Amino acid sequence: MGTFFRQCQVSREASPSETLILVEDTEGAVFGGFASHTWHVAQRHFGHADCFVFRFEEDLQVHRWAGLNSYFLFADASGLKLGGGRHPALWIDRDFLRGASGPCETFGTAGALHGVVPELSGDFVVKTFECWGFDCLDPPKEDTGWERRQAGAWQACRSYQHLLRGA
């Protein structure tokens, strides 16, 4: 986890960026989330309403902020998570080997992002973890905010989905 945070800080100093996390579990489920802020150790939640979580089934399912709380992102030495309330939408442990997902008030998810039965919550074993950064070294002259970030993240998700279907 320390190396992950150091790499995030290096990119943060060069250009603060949003990140897209993609996870594949050992059952073949692919899911993840978009972080509005650079990952860093914090004592409380951070981020804002641009965050979202997603899963792939037949199609891309995106869950945006539901408006019930502001527990968007959290990270410490034990791991990182997106969402909060009774359950995080996505939690990854410090070794990037295990995770958990469940019904999350932040993003209005009714169940886990992973698994065959998404209505249930529970643990999973991480097979693949990827974190992609979006830099803003050459922003457009008129910043479109959420729409620009959303379009870039969704395009990355769709590209990844296309790669999975071709594999």
User: In this predicted model, what pLDDT tens digit does every residue of 65-82 receive, in sequence order?
Assistant: 999 999 999 999 899 999
CA–CA separation, 143 and 130 (whole Å): 27
Kindly list the strands in the beta sheet with 73-76, ordered across the sheet, starting from the edge strand earlier in the chain: 60-64, 52-56, 30-35, 18-25, 122-134, 98-101, 90-93, 79-82, 73-76
Task: Tell me how many domains the chain contains.
Answer: 1
Give the pLDDT score at 135: 59
The tokens describing 101, both together, are 């997902």
Question: 10 is in which domain, residue-wise?
Answer: 2-166
pLDDT of 141:
47
Residue 139: the pLDDT is 45
pLDDT of residue 100: 93
Full-model pTM:
0.76
Residues of the chain with pLDDT below 70 are 1-16, 115-121, 135-167
pLDDT of residue 69: 96
